[in-house]
Amino acid sequence: MAKVIAVSRSKKKGVSKEAIPGGIFRENYGLVGDAHADSSTHRQVSLLATESIDKMRRLGFDVGPGDLAENLTTEGIELLSLPIGTRISIGGEIVLEITQIGKECHTGCAIYRQVGKCIMPKEGVFTRVIKGGLVEVGDTIRILEGDKCNN
């Protein structure tokens, strides 16, 4: 079963995020209190799989959830296999739509300077919030298919 391993946010862009027990996703905005939340962008919430973080650890980097600036750290879902436009449900109410996979790396960002490498440009998944609500560590993640995508 796919689930949320960590919820993280930061007040500044380009830095590691602090783990929090839960947060509020606001429709067409993002995670309340996070620097990346913005109604004018399609990258309102970022996701990264624990499997990606594990790749970094195997390379000798001491990283964990939120260290690579993701809002949600996930487990048990192959984020990179999901096409743009896929909608996922988190918990019982939140719906996110995948808008981008990977991103341009910010040369010299704090994460790259601290860690020495960043996996977000290749394995980070970005979404917009279709339906908001409370997200907490342990919430289940489901891929929405067919009619459910039109909620």
pLDDT at residue 108, as a whole number = 57
- Return the higher-pLDDT residue of 53 and 77: 77
- What are the residue ranges spanned by the domains of the chain? 3-150
Give dist(CA 132, CA 123) in Å, integer: 24
Q: Taking the model in full, what pTM does it have?
A: 0.86
**From its phi and psi, is residue 82 left (phi > 0), alpha (psi between -120 and 50) or beta?**
beta
Per the DSSP assignment, residues forming a β-bridge with 22 are 136
Which segments within 29-83 are labelled E, that is strand? Answer: 30-31, 45-49, 72-75
CA dist 74 and 93 (Å) reads 17
pLDDT for 147 equals 43
Distances in Å between the Cα of 134 and the Cα atoms of 56, 83, 111, 139 are: 29, 25, 27, 10
- Give the pLDDT confidence score for residue 151 in this predicted structure: 42
Per-residue model confidence (pLDDT) at position 15:
81
- The domain 3-150: what is its CATH number? 2.40.33.20
State the average pLDDT over residues 47-75. Answer: 89
* pLDDT value of residue 14: 76
Three-state DSSP state, 6? strand
Query: What is the mean pLDDT of the segment spanning 18-37?
Result: 96
pLDDT at 148 over 50: no
In whole angstroms, give the CA distance from residue 95 to residue 85: 12
Q: How far apart, in whole angstroms, are the C-alpha atoms of residue 8 and residue 65?
A: 8
pLDDT digits (tens, 9 = 90+) for 112-136: 666 565 666 678 899 999 999 999 9
Confidence (pLDDT) at 49: 94
